[in-house]
Chains A and B, each alone.
Chain A
Amino acid sequence: MDPSEVEFLAEKEMVTIISNFSLDKMYLIGGDLGPFNPGLPVNVPLWLALNLKQRQKCRIVPPEWMDVEKLEEIREQERKEETFTPIPNPHYMELTKLLLNHASDNIPKADEIRTLVKDIWDTRVAKLRLSADSFISQLEAHAKLDNLTLMEINTTRTFLLDSLNSMYKLRASLQPQPAAKGHHY
């Protein structure tokens, strides 16, 4: 999977916006989009929020977890634990990137949030690498990882699978050929 595909999937997440125009309820295939009234908050998918923001038709309200103290707590917890901690949103990385690129004027302390999210990401990806490394070197048969997000899985997917395939091929060529049945010497 391409990272841009993952980002595309992330755009289905709902965010709150405050529009400055009015429109009746829209009925789309994916679901209904509530009536828009100027000055009132409404929940919409991220792709629509970004489009409206670029056309200057709304103001985006940052999600609750996108807050300096909360993110600092999460980062501390992540650094302490060996395993992956649960994170507030399965697409935290994509959301951060999209919102901070397009709507940074609606998000207070945007620079600090960017740094904090990057720290959390770095810690998690490092853990993932460690665990993949030990998985391969100890020739484990199965592993279980909780609380991983799609984007993180996507970073190791190709590498992990390819390397496991290569290891399997190498191991298979070391095995002695089994005697063919039905041949008597």
Chain B
Amino acid sequence: MFLTDIRKEFYDVVVNQRVALFVSSDVDALCACKILQALFHCDHVQYTLVPVTGWQDLGTAFLEHKEQIKLLIKQDDDLGIPAYDDIFRDEEEDAEDSGNESDSNSEPSGKRTRFDEGAVERRIERQRAKREWEARRREILFDYEQYEYHGTSSAMVIFELSWVMTKDTKDMLWWAIIGLADQWVHDKITHMKYVTDIATLQRHVSRHSHHNEDEENSLSIDCMRICFEYDLRLSLYQHWSLYESICNSCYTTSSFKLWSMHGQKKLQEFLADMGLPLKQVRQKFNSMDISIKENLRDVIEESSNKYGMKDIRIQTFSVHFGFKNKFLAGDVVHAAAALLENVEKEENPSDNFIRALDSLSRYAKLSLSTAPERYTPAGVPDLSTLHRSKLDQLHCGIELAKKKLIAIQQTVASCICTNLILSQGPFLYCCLMEGTPDVKLFSKTLALTLLCKYLLKSFVRSTRNKRCKLLPLIMTAPMDVEKGTVIVLGIPPESETSDKKNFFGRAFEKAAESTGSRTLHDNFDTFVIELKTEDRSKFLDALITLLS
């Protein structure tokens, strides 16, 4: 469904009906879902929340609910959309035909009937025009589906909707910020787009926070404060030690080449250059000396310029509530993604989904309330109503994210040191074998995507071969041992001016067709597929011939 006015054509229609909300498994979709949930709560809209992991899931869930509900909303990351008129005829479309309406952010359903009317001559004329039009349409759709890339974050789109209805709150703004940060962390949008979107959000943030600074009417400490930060590009550094964060963030490890001895030495030099004693740097960030923490960002920026890291700082936002809860947007993204793809315990995906969703809300009602809920006979208030479970989820997510980042860095280091990345001609190829440590973590899309991107960035730094630096990377990792499948993921080449368009979706489909490999193109991201292990080699050969 293509929309021009999201409020009239979408929200006003939806608000009086029962809604099924299908949400895909990534952090941006989760954030958009939370904003919609908050809007629905305000307006007493009944809804059912269904997490989906791929097209098949969506289909089954749709069929299950088909009897009861007429209108569906699916959230997904944005895919680029060509002009409306080039694809569809405006008149005479059958509304009943596609009972599955998606919001403006997904692919066209492609099912439209058109009626031909008129006399024979006109009919012939029309048929000729129709054939031309069909040909053009096929071309456009092919172009459209050939490259996959991401547009505006869906959380931001829904936030704009709530702003238009003046129902936006700080919580919703924070979720929109997390949605945008997710796109940046998982490298889905270009830097220009990220900076433009940050500027848009900054306007909203300043609108919401003009109360905070007033001396006379200062806000309660429990209220949420969102601030713009020009903070360091070190993942999770405020919840970890500075040293660990530097060793496990993609930007710093690839710049220093921390998998080599030479790189380790450079890191020590870097720390010495900044005047940070090793003991301090290895401590938990919150326990570091105040005098060091004060100018940390500027000191690090200065030193990193000397070591060739010009962009160590990035624009982002942080949230602050209560006395000890401070989180950067990137931290929350890592935590939620780690919770979503938790492989530690044998939990089903919907439990993980709910846990990740919970980690995004912040209500941990500390009852410092002065009217106690229960009374003991002596009249002493009973403070056992401390309820912290949702913030705990966030902290749990942060711990999982730390483990994930460490695993990624170790895998990257071992891949580079053991030369596991091979050039196959038109692309680089890396295969994670069964026994690799933490390989279970990489059977999931988000984790594998992060690994791929970090690996490519590091590889580009480590190789001397100029040609190899411009190649895309394909990675395979075991997905399901019993079914004997591997997950295959392809990412575009690493470059400064990359527009992040990914053509592997189509390429994978064609290669699978031509070799008859058993593949499953189920994921919403078309550049990720599941493949039977036995078919792996012929699939790769087909890809090589296809892409060269």
Interfacial residues, chain A to chain B (CB-CB below 8 A)? 3-4, 7, 20, 55-57, 93-94, 96-97, 100-101, 104-105, 107-111, 114, 117-118, 121, 125, 129, 151, 155-156, 158-159
Contacts and interface: CB of A to CB of B under 8 A. Distances in A.
Interface string B343-366: 000000000000000000000010
Interface in B359-415: 365, 368-375, 377, 379
Nearest to B38: A56
A124 to B, nearest CB: 11
B219 interface: yes
Contact of B370 (A7, A55, A96, A107): A96
Interface stretch (B220-228, B233-241, B459-467, B494-502): B220-228
A55 B42 contact: yes
Contacts of B221: 111
Interface of B is mostly: loop
Nearest to B218: A109
23 contacts: A3-B371, A4-B373, A7-B371, A55-B42, A56-B167, A93-B370, A93-B371, A96-B371, A97-B369, A100-B220, A100-B369, A104-B222, A105-B219, A105-B223, A108-B218, A109-B217, A109-B218, A110-B222, A110-B223, A111-B220, A121-B370, A151-B371, A159-B379
Given A3-B373, A97-B370, A155 B379 contact: yes
B211 interface: yes
B219 A94 contact: no
Interface string B168-195: 0100000000000000000000000000
A109 B218 CA distance: 6
A110 B371 contact: no
A67 to B, nearest CB: 11
B372 A104 contact: no
Contacts of A109: 217-218
**Across the A-B interface, the 3 shortest Cβ-Cβ residue pairs:** A110-B220, A108-B217, A97-B371
B121 interface: no
Interface in B43-89: 43
B370 A114 contact: yes
B291 interface: no
Interface string B194-228: 00000000000000000100001111111100000
Contacts of B41: 55
Given A93-B370, A105-B211, A105-B223, A156 B379 contact: yes
